[in-house]
Amino acid sequence: MVKRNVESEALYREVARLLVDRGNCVALTGAGVSAESGIPTFRTQGGLWEKYDPMEFASIEAFRKDPSKYWSLRGEFIKDSDLYQPNNAHIALAELEQMGIVRCVITQNIDGLHKKAGSKNVIEIHGNLMEIYCLACGKEYKAPYVPEGMPPHCLCGGILKPNTVLFGEELPVDVFMKAKETSATCRIMLLVGTSAIVHPAASLPYLAKENRAKIIEINIEKAFPEADYSIMEKAGTALPKIVDEINKFSHE
């Protein structure tokens, strides 16, 4: 006989009801979401920054001095990128957008999996690893269709740079302003797979809360003490359960 966790079921139902009643939800996602797709994080044991000094290979200062250092490591960044697919968390967020509940996903991830899963309104505050642009003329390239060279150059002769925020580099002002505006005007914020401690993204849930939004945290461990609801579970498990609960309401 399977033992039912009544308290857990009640929490999922309450969160689902809140999403339906309030709507206007924004999701802020972090590395915990992509980890379920098999994407290794940079900072964990065995991660890329154990092998390479990020300030030497992936800082804006280092890039300006010698962009070939970054490009020599780029193969590690995009290794197996074609094999990574959206998981149940990405798909559930796209479904919540289709339902008219989630109006925007703000992500700290650079893998593009939210868009791949079908989410239309995505703010990638740290950029997208597969997007490349020319520092001279602004021409855009999409990996893997990037000119040869170390570092690669545009047809105009300008150096190519990834459309990602490197260490020591400011977030694009227009992108972060849009994230702030979206956070300040939502009625619910979902914190999904993020520690919510890396700035400036960490300021967004506080901004939402200051403007009376409810905060729902979904993470394997509690990271945001000010959350109104905390679901300690993997995002790929919790979000589909929430979608199921919402679907039940339409059949009542």
Residue pointed to by tokens 């044991």: 45
Q: Which residues contact 24 (CB under 8 A, 6 or more apart)?
A: 103, 185, 186, 187, 188
Q: Which residues pair with 122 in a beta bridge?
A: 105
Q: Is 126 a catalytic residue?
A: yes
DSSP letter for each residue of 81-97: TTT----HHHHHHHHHH
3-state secondary structure of 122: strand
Residue pointed to by tokens 């709507």: 23
Count of CA atoms in the C-beta half-sphere (13 A) of 201: 24
Choose, from 90, 126, 153, 251, the residue flagged as catalytic: 126
- Separation CA 188–CA 246 (nearest Å): 15
**Structure-block tokens of residue 235:** 């995002």
The residues annotated with a catalytic role in the active site are 126
